[in-house]
Structure 1
Amino acid sequence: MPSSSSSIGTPLAVEVEIRREKASALRRVGDKLETLIAQLVKLQGELSTLSGWQRAKKAEEYQKLWADADYQRWCLVIQRESLGLFHHAEVDLMYPIPPKVK
């Protein structure tokens, strides 16, 4: 009967590589989300100094970035769930997405 480990408790090389790739994918999504959040924070500051059509244009840019950040957060949650992590309060603490603007 084949086993998934070369000896009890020791993972096979392929299992280690799969775990590394899962962790790497999780990190890539987290990095994307961090970048988007930083861009949102910067735009949020710019929005507070603008008015009229300039603000409207910048608000549209903000909304697009916000939607991208929300999607990346969703991807991060899916990645976490694929690893067996089902409580996501930490995600909101580590990656606080600024609120939508009007």
Structure 2
Amino acid sequence: MPSSSSSIGTPLAIEVQIRQEKASALRRVGDKLEILIGQMVKLEPELRTLAGPPRAKKVEEYQKLWAEADHQRWYLIIQREAIGLFDHAEVDLMYPMPPKVK
């Protein structure tokens, strides 16, 4: 009868591949989230110096970045939960979301 791991506790090759893919998926989403947060942080000083239509355009850009970052953060949390990680305080520490801007 086949088992999910060998008798000495060594995971099967497929189990190792699945774990590697889960880790890679977490890394990819984390990398995307980090890039988006970095782009928002770069925009913040510009927003403080602009007014009128130029500021409105930058605010719109920032809001789109924020929405996409929030979406990626949600993906990250879903993937963490899928592998059994339910405390997301680390996500908040590693990927602090910049404030929303109006």
Normalising by structure 2, report the TM-score. Answer: 0.97
Residue 60 of structure 1 and its aligned partner are, at CA, apart by 0.5
Q: Which residue pairs with 2:18 in the alignment?
A: 18
Post-superposition Cα deviations, 1:5-57, rounded to whole Å, max 9, x if no partner, equal 12231100010010000000000000000000000000111111111111011
Shift of 1:75: 0.3
Helix, strand or coil: the match of 1:11? Answer: coil
Report the equivalent of 2:55: 55
Supply the AA of the counterpart residue of 2:9: G
Q: Which residue of 2 aligns with 1:45?
A: 45
Q: Shift of residue 2 of structure 1? A: 1.6
**Runs of 4+ that moved beyond 4 A:** none
Counterpart in 1 of 2:6?
A: 6
The residue correspondences of 1:89-100 to structure 2 (distance < 5 A) are 89-100=89-100
Aligned to 1:32: 32
Render the CA deviation track for 1:63-99: whole Å, top value 9, x for unaligned: 0000000000000000100110001011011000101
What RMSD over aligned residues (CA atoms) do the two structures have, in Å? Answer: 0.7
* Separation (CA, whole Å) in 2 of partners of 1:9 and 1:45: 54
Instruction: Tell me the secondary structure at the aligned position of residue 74 of structure 2.
Output: helix
Instruction: Look up the equivalent residue of 1:76 and give its one-letter code.
Output: L
Which 5+ residue runs of structure 1 have no aligned equivalent?
none
What SS does the aligned partner of 2:56 have?
A: helix
What is the aligned-residue identity percentage? 79
Q: Is the partner of 2:6 in helix, strand or coil?
A: strand
- Residue correspondences, number: 102
